[in-house]
Amino acid sequence: MTGEDLRATAANYLNRIFYKNAYHNILISKINTNPDLTSRDRAYLTETITGVVVLRKKLEWIISAYSTKPIKKLERNILTFLLIGVYNLLEDSYVPEHAAINEVVGAVKIRSSKKTAGFVNGILRTVQRESSNVCFPALKKDPVLSLSVRYSHPEWIVKRWLSRYGIENTEFLCEWNNKKKPVTIRVNKSKKDYKDFISHLKQEKFLLQANDIIPYMFQVNNASLLFDSPWFENGFFSVQSISSALAVLELNPQPGETVIDLCAAPGGKTTFMAELMQGKGTITAIDINKNRLNLLRTNLKRLKFSSVTIKCLDAAKIDHLNADKILVDVPCSGFGTLPQKPDIRWKRNLTDIFDLAKLQYQILTSAAKIVNPNGTILYSTCTIEPEENEQIIEKFLRKNHNFELLPVEILKSDIDVLENRVLTVLPFAHNLDGSFIAKLRKIE
């Protein structure tokens, strides 16, 4: 693929993310599994698309400093090409400056006009010469705008975080969300020879870092090579963040128990529970989305777990099942997963949080009806927004006196666990992606 075609392809994907509600992680997955692309093309597209999505607001600020037209009046496609050019110029050291400019200008010339290409060329060359002179908003004068622009987050969410966490922690959080994170895998300990796989990770230098919380989860590099290996095909590992795994460890499903995973797909937590239960007992995995349930079926087959029954149902309307333990990992705003899903910051708004909170409460109430007496509900999210977390639990306990809040045992030193019995995982406190856990018991 020529340099101009690569830029045009990147622009097409970015336009789909920004204007057609496509999902960054799904498109990147398609790019990395496209046999028609060279490894070099995949690397460029992944880096550029992800980088532009992450730094969109900062890049627009720079463009606006040198554009004779206001950003809002630029044609969408031309703005996207400018975002690509500025990102490649200032943020991607692997792209030579002449290529960052010429390939974008060439792509615009083919797809628009010489006049528009000249306009783009003028802005990019000015950025090349004068980018060090760009003035960003001062932190002391306007912390919301400053953090929003410099770390490329919507102002509304930065304002919320500042009110809760202060400037220092909010800046850490924004910076954390923009950092590239290595892939974390969970080794399938149900495999008799799983230790051979761990030895392979070490010998072939895939292993970057183990962790103190879950010893059989590892950060790895060159993950794409691992995914193409027989180790993956034969079910020796799954991709899962540590924050995600904490909920399963806290629920602690045991062999012989009856467990329901109410919002199961694509199945990271379901498969982890199946592993811990050693094929003994039953797990019912429920989700409303048929396509996502197909991903769960694929994962279960690859990992060779047969103790899971899959049902396509609405988790908010279930009243005919029963279980000893129920995992309620509800749909949420996802603000704890921005390192993996950077486009969420541009897709979500405050109304989404309130709308999701209504659904989350309905699903938790549904779980309350079907958990057995003395049974446990583990409520979890991958967000740090209180309306979806502690406020849901507080409302539930006010209206359901036959339930009690149990203290979360994992990460016991956390101040939330000590004082409030729930756990809010925060990057600046735990060096982990954001999430929330609360454990409820049905009083007999």
**Shared fold status for 3-133 and 242-442:** no
Q: Which of 46-55, 193-202, 409-418, 426-435 has the lowest mean pLDDT?
A: 409-418
What pLDDT, on a 0 to 100 scale, did the predictor assign at position 208? 77
- For the chain, what are the domain ranges? 3-133, 143-178, 183-239, 242-442
With residue 372 as reference, give the H or E element that holds it: strand 371-381
Amino acid letter for position 172:
F
Under the banding of pLDDT at 50, 70 and 90, the label for residue 225 is: confident
Q: Which of 44-48, 329-333, 426-430 has the lowest mean pLDDT?
A: 426-430
What pLDDT, on a 0 to 100 scale, did the predictor assign at position 181? 87
Rounded to two decimals, the pTM is: 0.93
Say if residues 443 and 404 touch (Cβ distance below 8 Å). Answer: yes
What pLDDT, on a 0 to 100 scale, did the predictor assign at position 415? 63
Architecture of domain 242-442: 3-Layer(aba) Sandwich (3.40)
Say if residues 188 and 216 touch (Cβ distance below 8 Å). Answer: no
Q: Is 154 exposed, middle or buried (CB count within 10 Å of its CB: 0-12, 13-18, 19+)?
A: middle
Cα–Cα distance for residue pair 370/16, rounded to 1 Å: 41
Q: Which of 33-37, 285-289, 295-299, 365-369 has the lowest mean pLDDT?
A: 33-37
Catalytic residue set: 382
| pLDDT per position as a tens digit, 294-315 | 989 999 999 999 889 999 999 9
pLDDT average, residue stretch 373-384: 97
Does residue 416 register a pLDDT over 70? no
| pLDDT per position as a tens digit, 306-360 | 889 999 999 999 988 999 999 999 999 999 999 999 999 999 999 999 999 999 9
Secondary structure (H, E, C), 288-353 = CCHHHHHHHHHHHHHHCCCCEEEEECCHHHCCCCCEEEEEEECCCCCCCCCCCCCCHHHHCCHHHH
Cα–Cα distance for residue pair 268/309, rounded to 1 Å: 15
| pLDDT per position as a tens digit, 58-83 | 999 999 999 999 999 999 999 999 99
When computed from its CA atoms, the radius of gyration of the chain, rounded to whole angstroms, is 24
Cα–Cα distance for residue pair 193/108, rounded to 1 Å: 54
Q: Any idea which fold 183-239 has?
A: Alpha-Beta Plaits (3.30.70)
Give the SS3 label for residue 440.
strand
Cα–Cα distance for residue pair 286/298, rounded to 1 Å: 15
Say if residues 135 and 61 touch (Cβ distance below 8 Å). Answer: no
Tell me the pLDDT of the chain averaged across its residues.
93
What pLDDT, on a 0 to 100 scale, did the predictor assign at position 32? 85
What pLDDT, on a 0 to 100 scale, did the predictor assign at position 418? 62
Q: Please state the CATH superfamily assignment of the domain spanning residues 3-133 in this structure.
A: NusB-like (1.10.940.10)
What pLDDT, on a 0 to 100 scale, did the predictor assign at position 417? 67
What pLDDT, on a 0 to 100 scale, did the predictor assign at position 444? 75
Q: Which of 31-35, 97-101, 170-174, 416-420 has the lowest mean pLDDT?
A: 416-420
Higher pLDDT, 209 or 317: 317
pLDDT average, residue stretch 272-279: 93
Give the HSE-up count for residue 201: Cα atoms under 13 Å, Cβ half-sphere: 26
| pLDDT per position as a tens digit, 149-199 | 999 999 999 999 999 999 999 999 999 999 988 899 999 999 999 999 999
What pLDDT, on a 0 to 100 scale, did the predictor assign at position 351? 97
Q: What percent of the chain has pLDDT over 70?
A: 98
